Amino acid sequence: MDLGLDGKVAIVTGGAKGIGAAIVRAATAEGMTVAIVDRDEAVSQAFAAQLRAAGHTVHVVIASLETAAACAAAVAEVVARCGRIDALINNAGVNDGVGLASGSPAEFAASLDRNLSHYFAMAHYALPALTEWRGNIVNIASKVAVTGQGGTSGYAAAKGAIMALTREWAVELLPVGIRVNAVIPAEVMTPLYEQWLATHADPAGKLQDIVSKIPLGHRMTTADEIAAAVLFLLSSKSGHTTGQQLHVDGGYVHLDRAIR
């Protein structure tokens, strides 16, 4: 299926690993030019080199997005290199365990900077280019905003706000034709997820307990499945879809997790 994305330019924040890297691979496979915006220079450059060797066009912008100035500079660098922005995929973030009891107000605010503020700043600074090229935005949220998790107030608050901002931006940007949607993963095997599993006394047992609660197939969602949903939302095939929150989670959130 031709998604109509060939030659378009996408920014993927946190694009060097995990879900972000899967989105980058899917986007380049569709002929997009992709700017990986990530703080990890070594991993970003190595990943970009692999993609370039396969004939894809990839740029790397090294940035820590915890300040508005860093976001503005990252967007400006992409525009300078590529001349346009057709898609912004806000993905960077970390489930950092800043809880109500375990975290301080200052740590909560810092968690919002790591997981929420740059979504607004990147969209704000990319908006002129997105408007010029009638682009669109896909925000990556999390089931934690819907289900809760315990011990991660900062991350949950950020992801809930991202879902709300998706609807708000979709309304605000209707007059300029920019579509805004969200993809909401639940349990996806990524390097960060593997690190979290490793903190348990029995990682294999913990994983089995988790997948037993995923109704469809009793398996983890793959990062490639998240990426496929993102690419569909970016494409002309979803040209009349905006303000939507797409759960790609094997029914984890909306079906009874006790189903066996």
Residue type, 246: L
**d(Cα 122, Cα 116) in Å, to the nearest integer?**
10
Q: Where are the domains of the chain?
A: 9-188+223-248
Query: For residue 106, is pLDDT > 60?
Result: yes
Percent of the chain with pLDDT over 90: 90
- Which pLDDT score is estimated for 195? 85
pLDDT, tens digit, for every residue of 206-219? 999 999 999 999 99
Mean pLDDT of 52-81: 97
- Which pLDDT score is estimated for 162? 98
Written as six digits, the tokens of 71 are: 């976001």
CATH architecture under which domain 9-188+223-248 falls: 3-Layer(aba) Sandwich (3.40)
Half-sphere exposure of 11 (CA within 13 A, CB side): 35
- Which pLDDT score is estimated for 190? 87
Query: For residue 260, is pLDDT > 60?
Result: no
Mean pLDDT of 93-118: 96
- Which pLDDT score is estimated for 59? 98
Written as six digits, the tokens of 179 are: 């579509």
Mean pLDDT of 167-196: 94
Question: Is 125 among the residues known to form the active site?
Answer: no
Written as six digits, the tokens of 30 are: 């569709």
pLDDT, tens digit, for every residue of 11-31? 999 999 999 999 999 999 999
- Which pLDDT score is estimated for 104? 97
pLDDT, tens digit, for every residue of 117-155? 999 999 999 999 999 999 999 999 999 999 999 999 999
Q: Whose structure tokens read 């609807």?
A: 167
Query: For residue 77, is pLDDT > 70?
Result: yes
- Which pLDDT score is estimated for 200? 87
- Which pLDDT score is estimated for 259? 60
Query: For residue 222, is pLDDT > 70?
Result: yes
- Decide: 16 and 46 in contact? Cβ < 8 Å: no
- Which pLDDT score is estimated for 196? 80
Mean pLDDT of 51-66: 97
Q: Which of 119, 125, 155, 252 does the annotation list as catalytic?
A: 155
- Report helix angle 18-29 to 41-53, nearest 10: 20
With b for 16 or more beta-carbon neighbours within 10 A and e for fewer, the 143-181 pattern comes to bbbbeeeeebbbbbbbbbbbbebbbebbeebeeeebbbb
- Which pLDDT score is estimated for 191? 84
| Mean pLDDT of all residues belonging to the chain | 95
- Residue 251 dihedral angles phi and psi, to the nearest 5°: 80, 10
Written as six digits, the tokens of 82 are: 């590529």
SS3 for the chain, per residue? CCCCCCCCEEEEECCCCHHHHHHHHHHHHCCCEEEEEECCHHHHHHHHHHHHHCCCCEEEEECCCCCHHHHHHHHHHHHHHHCCCCEEEECCCCCCCCCCCCCCHHHHHHHHHHHHHHHHHHHHHHHHHHHHCCCEEEEECCCHHHHCCCCCHHHHHHHHHHHHHHHHHHHHCHHHCCEEEEEEECCECCHHHHHHHHCCCCHHHHHHHHHCCCCCCCCCECHHHHHHHHHHHHCHHHCCCCCCEEEECCCCCCCCCCCC
